Chains A and B, each alone.
Chain A
Amino acid sequence: MSESKTVKFKLNGREVEAPEGRLLIDAAKDAGVEIPHYCYHPALGNPGNCRLCVVEVQGAPKPLVSCRTFVKEGMVVASDSPAAMRAQQSSLELHLVNHPLDCPVCDQSGECGLQDYYMEIGRYESQVREDKLHKGKRIEAGPHVMLDQERCILCTRCTRFVDEVTKTHELGIFGRGHGQYIDLVPGKTLDNPYSGNVVDICPVGALTEKDFRYKVRVWYLDETDSVCPGCSRGCSTSVHTNTERPWHNDGRRVARIKPRHNPEVNGWWICDDGRFGYDSLDHDRLGRVMRLKDQRRELSWTEAFEEIASALASRSAGKGAGGLVVIASGMLSNEDWAAFKVLFVDTLGVKHFVFGPEPDQLGEEDELLRKREKVPNLKGGQAQGFGTEIPSASWDSLAKDIEAGKVWGLYVVERDLTKVWGQRTADLLSKLGLVIFQGPNKTATGDLAHYRLPATAYVEEEGHFTNFGGTVQAYKKALEPLGSAKPDWAIFHGLAEHLAGDRREEAVA
């Protein structure tokens, strides 16, 4: 269908329009009517096995599943008629016959399809007098995912995910009838790079995240739109934070990261690196502005800006801006890059930059989502000229220049040089009169610097990343900064202001 025609049909007494050939369940959603469903998922097809999305279609001999019915001109559909509601309710009741009532200890509680639909369309008195069937409860499916076969409603979303999306086939359906269960295919573990997605698509508590189990109730979580900084794909995410109950979640503020549907960037999924790689947001953080050498002590930002600005200004004046090398990375936001350029190019006239992802910021790539560059915003740097007019210097030539005494200062942003130079790092840095480190986390490089400036993590600021394809996405502030941490752009801006002030003073004098 290249040219799709629009058809008119009636939904719950209302005249609705939809493109011809659209699934009824989708067309209803477009019109603001959510028809209950489990097995159907826009990215995983419509096997029609849960039988929950039944609707009444005028002229049809029996209720139809809306996930396998296409809209037609003049169709009269009711998803809220007594017959449709009864059919939906009966399907829900049958789903619950053998479902364990362990909601109080189930991590899905609060975002469970069974709970939600029971409150929406159920609310009947249970007629089940029989004991529940028992199946496996605590099965370690893989490094990130736990499987509870009793809670499973056999919607097959997870098996379809590993069959159709990752094509890794770790999960299968075994047995027959009511004895049927989802399990690992013999000899396999659910360890593909996208395994966490099965937890999101599971409409019940059968698949849960190991990281999140028993940590915090979902209704205590706040959700903030964000963008994953894990690679140049920049998947749309939602950061779930726990600040209402700080004693939950082992004291960590970030409880979990979930994908946010974005057809242009990541579709429905994110990779496990992005999903579970949030440890650094609450661990090993820098919170204090520190002078580490020549009388180690904590500084106020004003003190730090003054000291660093004057050190940069005097050395630049004396030894030339060519002796200052700035190391940065695609971790910076578009706003950071702009301030970065103002400080280092426009104000200080720095000539040598290292910002390419090689070799420490490269990793695995695949056809689904993961990109080779493990930083989110190289494109944003390019827009400011870094990587286009301004080339990235090589690590080897930088090391040689340091050895040769051509470099007097290094300004390192969010990057650990020991990952590049290894044990040589301390020796190389010791030859420099001024090393400034700025970043959100503790690193070996930070410990070797003269000044260590705490930057906010991306969840503590707002900004924009431009992904490899040029898509600009905003990420929002989910948490307050830790300690005195400031966004990178604010640090660059503060230094630039102090440097400009120094110059004004010079001009006045």
Chain B
Amino acid sequence: MSTKILTQHFNEPKLHELATYRKLGGYKGLEKALKMKPAEIAAEVAKSNLRGLGGAGFPVGGKWSTMPPADKAPERYVVANYDESEPGCFKDRVLGERAPHQIIEGLLIAAHAVSAEWAFIFIRGEYGIPFKILEKAIAEADEAGLTGKVRVRLMRGAGAYICGLDTALLETMEGKKAWPRQPPPFPTVVGLMGQPTVVNNVETLAMLPHIIVNGGDWFAKLGVLPNPEKKLPGSGGTAVYSVSGDVEKPGVYEFAMGAPLRAIIDAAGGVRGGRKVKAVIPGGASTPPLSASELDTPMDFDSLRSVGSFLGAGGVIVLDETRDMSEVAHNIERFLAHESCGQCTPCREGSEWTTRILGRMLEGKGTSGDLPNLQRIGENITGKVICALGDTVGMVTRGFMKKFPDDFKSKVPA
């Protein structure tokens, strides 16, 4: 059984309208939050063990607590990261289209929690429909007096994958080329226009009303509790998965943290055409794949790390037995090379080089040195770059080569 928080009312028609949302208990969280002190909200969120659902999985309470106090830095911002661009991820799109007020309510709670008077939603340029829906929802909330003293502004991206990375997003918001910054300092200290800024993914923010209404403990218990013995932080609540690829019913499915991968695939109707699973990319195209033998892996941040992958943004891509993993790797590397911002050398050059080697192998022109070279190039990129995109560039091909060596060996002379 899937546990639903964000998607519980998704069958309700006109959920995107304020009246429907309020009828179903919407904005109760904000109402309650406004009666709380900012520190109390932060404490509740810290207790909930909510982790960032945009990909990094950073504890939300922890992130907020790194902001300097409001009296020392009164100008501060909250930014909702709605730049969902990861191949295989479309849950944020659905969340915004179906329940835009859930995001706005979460954003307002976050603004209150960190005492920010400006709240921005940065939305991917290609997301035209969610943009229009959100634009209308913000106007509705404004008109109903729900935004209070917080000014909510919607900002549209110009179509670059890298803008999903918080510091690149802040750069592009400032009108600059979206080149990631190199923390420290982190955005919570030096963010938008040099001011303390909290950047949270929209799904993460949408969780906040529910945490405030039902309490942090309730949320934490829904998910995976911390394991102090193994020094694992756990992850509270649920995650919304975008399930795509070779499944019967691709779509958005919500599960409690720690649900087995198999359950998610089953919910999506299983593998298309009754074929067998060959690989599953668990968190979106940039996360290393799992093999068919790893389908019982619990889906949460810590468990996926332990098997060498990431929960990422929950973009589950199922690949059946007919797929060639070297083609999949080539496809993803080509995407990453296209989207590499080009700031740092290993990612800029390495993504393109990797893509061209894989492309040549797929044309039947592989050489005996290609596989060790791909392995070496990957090792030389990951951990030696500015941002997570670069780390990914070095991980993807190595991840597929490790789990599916035959698909690669068949492309080079024996």
Contacts and interface: CB of A to CB of B under 8 A. Distances in A.
Interface of A: 47-52, 54, 61-63, 68, 86-87, 90-91, 93-95, 97-98, 127-130, 133, 153-154, 173, 175-180
A94 B350 contact: yes
A91 B350 CA distance: 10
B349 A95 contact: yes
Given A130-B353, A177-B338, A49 B343 contact: yes
A130 B338 CA distance: 17
Residue among A48, A62, A176 facing the most chain B CB atoms (10 A cut-off): A176
Contacts of A49: 343-345, 386
B90 to A, nearest CB: 23
A62 B160 contact: no
Closest 10 CB pairs of A and B: A90-B380, A180-B342, A178-B352, A177-B340, A62-B383, A94-B349, A177-B342, A130-B356, A97-B349, A49-B344
Residue among B160, B337, B348, B357 facing the most chain A CB atoms (10 A cut-off): B348
B373 A127 contact: yes
A437 to B, nearest CB: 57
Interface of B: 160, 177, 182, 337-346, 348-353, 356-357, 360, 367, 369, 373, 376-377, 379-381, 383-386
B345 A178 contact: no
A94 B357 contact: no
A49 B349 CA distance: 12
A54 B341 contact: no
Nearest to A133: B352
A130 B360 contact: yes
A51 B382 CA distance: 12
Nearest to A99: B349
A175 B345 contact: no
A178 B373 contact: no
A48 B342 contact: no
Contacts of B182: 48, 68
B340 A94 contact: no
B180 to A, nearest CB: 10
Contacts of A127: 369, 373, 376
A130 B93 CA distance: 39
A54 to B, nearest CB: 6
Contact of B349 (A54, A175, A178): A178
Contacts of A95: 345, 349
Given A94-B380, A129-B367, A177-B339, 15 more contacts: A50-B345, A90-B380, A91-B384, A94-B345, A94-B346, A94-B353, A98-B349, A127-B376, A154-B342, A154-B345, A173-B342, A177-B342, A178-B337, A178-B349, A179-B342
A178 B342 CA distance: 6
Contact of A177 (B341, B357, B381, B383): B341
Contacts of B381: 94
A173 B177 CA distance: 9
7 contacts: A51-B346, A63-B383, A130-B360, A176-B160, A176-B340, A176-B342, A177-B351
B344 A129 contact: no
A98 to B, nearest CB: 6
Contacts of B349: 94-95, 97-98, 178
A51 B342 contact: no
A51 B383 contact: no
Nearest to A61: B383
A123 B340 CA distance: 28
Contacts of B160: 176
A389 B367 CA distance: 84
B344 A50 contact: yes
Given A87-B384, A129-B367, A130-B360, A51 B348 contact: no
Contacts of B351: 177-178
Nearest to A92: B345
B397 to A, nearest CB: 15
Nearest to B340: A177
Contact of B344 (A51, A176, A179): A51
A1 B384 CA distance: 31
A68 B181 CA distance: 12
Contacts of A68: 182
B352 A90 contact: no
A63 B384 CA distance: 7
Residue among B345, B350, B384, B385 facing the most chain A CB atoms (10 A cut-off): B345
Contact of A130 (B340, B357, B369): B357
Contacts of B350: 94, 97
Nearest to B367: A129
Nearest to A176: B342
Given A95-B349, A176-B160, A90 B384 contact: yes
A48 B339 CA distance: 20
A171 to B, nearest CB: 13
A97 B340 contact: no
B255 to A, nearest CB: 31
Contacts of A63: 383-384
A153 B345 contact: yes
Contacts of A175: 342
A284 B295 CA distance: 85
A48 B384 CA distance: 11
Contacts of A98: 349, 352
Contacts of B385: 51
B380 A129 contact: no
Nearest to A86: B380
Contacts of A94: 345-346, 349-350, 353, 377, 380-381
A97 B341 CA distance: 17
A62 B342 contact: no
B201 to A, nearest CB: 23
Contacts of B383: 61-63
A68 B351 CA distance: 24
A62 B377 CA distance: 16
Residue among A50, A127, A179 facing the most chain B CB atoms (10 A cut-off): A127
A91 B340 contact: no
A48 B340 CA distance: 16
A177 B352 contact: yes
A180 B338 CA distance: 11
A62 B390 CA distance: 14
A63 B382 CA distance: 11
B360 A129 contact: yes
B48 to A, nearest CB: 28
A52 B386 CA distance: 12
Contact of B384 (A47, A51, A173): A51
Nearest to A68: B182
